[in-house]
Homo-oligomer: A and B are copies of this chain.
Amino acid sequence: MSIPAGHAEGARLPQPALERLASYMRCLIELEQAGAAYVSSQELENITGVSAAQLRKDLSYLGELGKRGIGYDVARLRERIAEVLDISHEQNVLLVGAGRLGSALLAYPGWRLYRFRIAAVFDRDPKIIGTTIRRLKVRSIDEVVEANEEFGARIGILAVPAWEAQNVADRLVAAGVRGLINFAPARLQAPPEVKVREVCFICELAILSYQISDPAPPAEGDAAA
């Protein structure tokens, strides 16, 4: 569960460590934008919710970045984590779906902070193809394989309805994409070398709903318990 010094040796981070690193990264970017030069493990605990002890352990593997009494160098730690996560260089990303969600994603101001760049947007709707959204011309999904010869994107984002998701995933994989972010409520089949991450914000609402529910007997309904 500890974080090795890098992935150059072929060691792979386990999922929980990876998620913690992504969480530190987000926090450090915010701190850097707010002008903070140093941050203590206690402050990081307050923001990320990861215990200072776990945090110090994780970060100790990344090099000598903390100074007793001062804390961690925000910019250097952010750079170091970006290296480990392999997001320290600009990466092209393909977006499929130029509807409301796709447009919202295009408008998201955080891409460049993570050095992601939406290189191209695709849709299948002839009414949308050819229009321009935030300086990007919407292309036909039929062009995705050819287009990605130029962009070399490894990551594709699916912002399409569930019933189109598998077909879009297949096309993205054919275009050389190796990682899919799936916003559609559909479980995708993909070759083993392709990684898929599902984003389900409605699941977050369901979990939240439970967390704020009253533990006291809710009367009728659940009575069988």
Q: Do the beta carbons of B225 and A5 come within 8 Å of each other?
A: yes
Q: Which residue of chain B has its CB nearest to the CB of A63? A: B224
Specify the main secondary structure of chain A where it touches its partner. mixed
Stretch at the interface among A123-131, A140-148, A199-207: A199-207
In the complex, what's the smallest C-beta–C-beta distance from A32 to chain B, in angstroms?
12
How far is it, in angstroms, between the C-alpha of A47 and the C-alpha of B166 when the chains are bound?
14
A181: chain B residues within 8 A (beta carbon): 201, 204-205, 208
Binds B, one of A52-60, A67-75, A104-112: A104-112
A170 at the interface (CB under 8 A from B): no
* Residues of B contacting A101 in the complex (Cβ-Cβ under 8 angstroms): 104, 107-108
Enumerate A1-57 residues with CB–CB distance to B below 8 Å: 4-13, 18-19, 22-23, 25-27, 29-30, 47-48
Query: Is A93 close to B, CB under 8 A?
Result: yes
A179 in the interface, Cβ–Cβ < 8 Å?
yes
Q: Which residues of B contact A199 (CB under 8 A)?
A: 201, 204
B12 near A215 with CB under 8 A, answer: yes
The contact of A218 among B8, B162, B216, by CB within 8 Å, is: B8
A175 interfacial by beta-carbon distance below 8 Å: no
Interchain CB contact under 8 A, B195 and A212: yes
Residue of B nearest to A81 (CB): B206
CA A57 – CA B184 in complex, angstroms?
Answer: 28
A208 touches B195 (CB 8 A): yes
**Shortest beta-carbon distance from A9 to chain B in Å:** 7
| Given the contacts A100-B104, A202-B116, A205-B114, A7 and B210 also touching, CB distance less than 8 Å | yes
